[in-house]
Structure 1
Amino acid sequence: MTKTLSTALFFTAAASLAAPAFADEVNVYSYRQPELIKPLTDAFTAETGIKVNVAYLKKGMVERLQAEGDRSPADMILTVDISRLAAVVNAGLTQPVTTDAINANVPAQYRDPDNHWFGLTTRARIVYASKDRVADGEVTTYEDLADPKWEGRICTRSGTNAYNVALTSAVIEHHGVEGAKTWLEGVKSNLARKPQGNDRAQVKAIWAGECDISIGNTYYMGKMLSDDEQKEWADSVRIVFPEFEGKGTHVNISGVALTKSAPNKENAVKMMEFLTSPAAQEIYAKANFEYPIAPGTEADALVTGWGEFTADDVNLMTLAGHRSDALKITEEVDFDG
């Protein structure tokens, strides 16, 4: 009864998320806005009759869960970026889940080796290249970005942004810390301007002629094409899928984890199985312009139209282990300075 009351009080306090206590419910803390996951939550409720309450936390998920402790109403978390998933796991705020359905739907490189988190969709960290000023084949690897031929031609967001930290972590995995530091120094020397803005702002800069290539996530192309103003930016570039010298293209994930004190554990596991199912992954991937990962699934036609690539098969938890080194060398080279 105490947990039911705490659940009701929490969602009353979270503006626009008020919900009474239900016998069959599941409570989700999400780094993604509720509207982006609504197609999934609606489908899950229609299939199971289980009510889904979503609290959107733009930041501070670990701190929130720690403060709530065993009284937390949260049953599961939904998030983007491996570092955010790893942070919750490393803080001891999750519990392992092992079911045949989830194991069948989530390839090994997209789940925690100890079964604390599971990927749902992926996005590639790619190069946006000017259609007018960059020839086909001019950039093919991440290593190319440090080549002096790109001096004054690259735009990117902050080097300490989670997406760029994950990419730097991948460079560390393939080239070691010193190799990654040299790479960062090379990329910095090629920047057209101080790192700023988000991934879409870099494409706008290409459109405006401020730079010729930028680093960004694939799904932003879909978001820009869906926006009347930004469509012109998107039309000025094409997507290039760099690789790590034959090792594949760096990808990151959206993922799910079960909280340590989940008050509705059985319902939460049901939802996790649903979210990892091929049908749900395709819904989620289409809504967010990402790639589903369950065997036999396909991305939306718009997304597949950007081209094919081979994903780097390193387990993402390995990359999360490089995060502190990635941040350290980013600061040492004063990448954002």
Structure 2
Amino acid sequence: MEERVPTQMFGRRSFLAATGVSAAGLAGLAGCLGDDNGGDNVPIADADPLAEPVDSTAVSWDDLGDLEGEITVYSGRTRDQIDPVFEALEDEYDGFEINRDYDDNDVQVNQILQEGDAVAADLMYSQDPGALNELQDNGVLQQLPQDVVDAVPGSYREPDGHWTGVTGRVRSIQYNSDRWDGGADELPTDIMEYATDDRFEGIISTRPNSGTFRGFIQAMVERKGESETREWVRAMVEDQDIQLFSGGGDQAEAINRGGDDDPIVAFGNSYYAARILNEAPDAPIRTAYTENDAGCLFSIAGVGVLNDVANAELVAEFVRHLLAAEGQEFMMDANGEYPVVEGIDYVGELPDLEEINPPEFDLSDFDMDLQEASELLEQEGMTV
């Protein structure tokens, strides 16, 4: 886990650190002096759009209300993944500032729950749906405005609108086209075959600490059952001698590098390859996809709004900007991710979702730890 380094963090947490007052103590002080965090206690669902509502046809930032004021975001996404769109919004609106705090998903969730009513964040920007489900299960997220809920397909958000996907990614088979003979046509389209095909022995890799990899394992359990999934993991470790990485970017760079000690094939999120190809379209890294199984699982990065926010209209308008055309396009360009708004066409070096045709899974069932998947991987020795 990377060192916790807050960026532009001017909220309640920095005050607590500077004064030594505990979150509980500050909550008690607020009870004596009144609500000092500026929270207007207006449900965000009741906050009218400042201009046009967002919808599935992908409105522009020009159609939405101006952003003015400050919001605080706790991000489980890394700085390089999310800063491009944050910086673009701050450049677009002179009077708008995003106080952001970056750390791992589980750290951010635990911090939000520990801070309780004294939480500094207006919203959580999560790497995957599990952290958002954990916050919802603990009753700290409020429902989003109806236009935001309606703009995103039901499979990409929480059914009752407590969180929404902002962008998506697909599990893929990454490979080095210079070293893998036959290209994508020679790669199995059934994820289960990768555990039994001896061509992959010693040359295949994955990142088992990834939330989306654990989600992939959970999806495999749902489709194939626990016993068959366990056999697959065991075979990948014992028979295929799978190489394990702790970072998706490092894994993709190793595939692209193609050295003698580097893997040739990898299980990974497609956007890691897309980032490389966006910068260097002739790079040897390529992606292939299995067919309608857990191997091409589609998952999301998304946002959830905390119960008490300083400015409900501003926070609602910020979420609308993430789902508008420019917000979706920034994340495609910077990260190689997929849009979640139907009115936005995917533009990038990878196939669009219609070509991949990933299976549908209920992302609202994924918990933060994906505990059963984590335990299975640990028991079978697939850990870093």
Cα 1:42–1:153 shift into 2, 3 Å: same
TM-score (norm 1): 0.81
Report the equivalent of 1:271.
Answer: 318
Cα 1:69–1:177 shift into 2, 3 Å: same
Match of residue 237, structure 1, among 282, 285, 306:
285
Q: Which moved more, 1:302-311 or 1:128-137?
A: 302-311
Report the equivalent of 1:316.
Answer: 363
Q: Which has the larger radius of gyration?
A: 2
2:274 matches 1:222: yes
Quote the offset at 1:108 in angstroms: 0.7
Report the equivalent of 2:214.
Answer: 165
Mapping of residues 120-269 of structure 1, within 5 Å: 120-131=166-177, 132-135=179-182, 136-206=185-255, 207-210=258-261, 211-225=263-277, 235-245=283-293, 249-269=296-316
Q: Which moved more, 1:108-117 or 1:25-34?
A: 25-34
The answer on whether the counterparts of 2:174 and 2:273 sit within 8 Å (CA) in structure 1 is no
Cα 1:78–1:333 shift into 2, 3 Å: same
Report the equivalent of 2:82.
Answer: 37
Report the equivalent of 2:26.
Answer: none
Q: Which moved more, 1:310-319 or 1:167-176?
A: 310-319
1:46-90 Cα offsets, whole Å, 9 max, x none, are 369543222222451012112221111211111212222223323
The answer on whether the counterparts of 2:86 and 2:98 sit within 8 Å (CA) in structure 1 is yes
> Alignment partner of 1:126: what SS?
strand
> Alignment partner of 2:169: what SS?
strand
Quote the offset at 1:149 in angstroms: 2.7
2:192 alignment partner AA: E
The answer on whether the counterparts of 2:276 and 2:283 sit within 8 Å (CA) in structure 1 is no
The answer on whether the counterparts of 2:273 and 2:285 sit within 8 Å (CA) in structure 1 is no
Cα 1:48–1:243 shift into 2, 3 Å: farther
Report the equivalent of 1:284.
Answer: 331
Cα 1:203–1:276 shift into 2, 3 Å: closer
The answer on whether the counterparts of 1:169 and 1:320 sit within 8 Å (CA) in structure 2 is no
C-alpha distance in 2 between matches for 1:111 and 1:328: 26
The answer on whether the counterparts of 1:105 and 1:277 sit within 8 Å (CA) in structure 2 is no
Report the equivalent of 2:5.
Answer: none
1:259-299 Cα offsets, whole Å, 9 max, x none, are 12323333212211221223321222222111111012122
C-alpha distance in 1 between matches for 2:369 and 2:268: 20
C-alpha distance in 2 between matches for 1:216 and 1:72: 34
Cα 1:13–1:152 shift into 2, 3 Å: farther
The answer on whether the counterparts of 1:155 and 1:205 sit within 8 Å (CA) in structure 2 is no
C-alpha distance in 1 between matches for 2:193 and 2:17: 46
Match of residue 155, structure 2, among 106, 109, 115:
109
1:149 alignment partner AA: D
The answer on whether the counterparts of 1:282 and 1:298 sit within 8 Å (CA) in structure 2 is no
Match of residue 302, structure 1, among 342, 349, 366:
349
1:300-327 Cα offsets, whole Å, 9 max, x none, are 3334589931122222123448922111
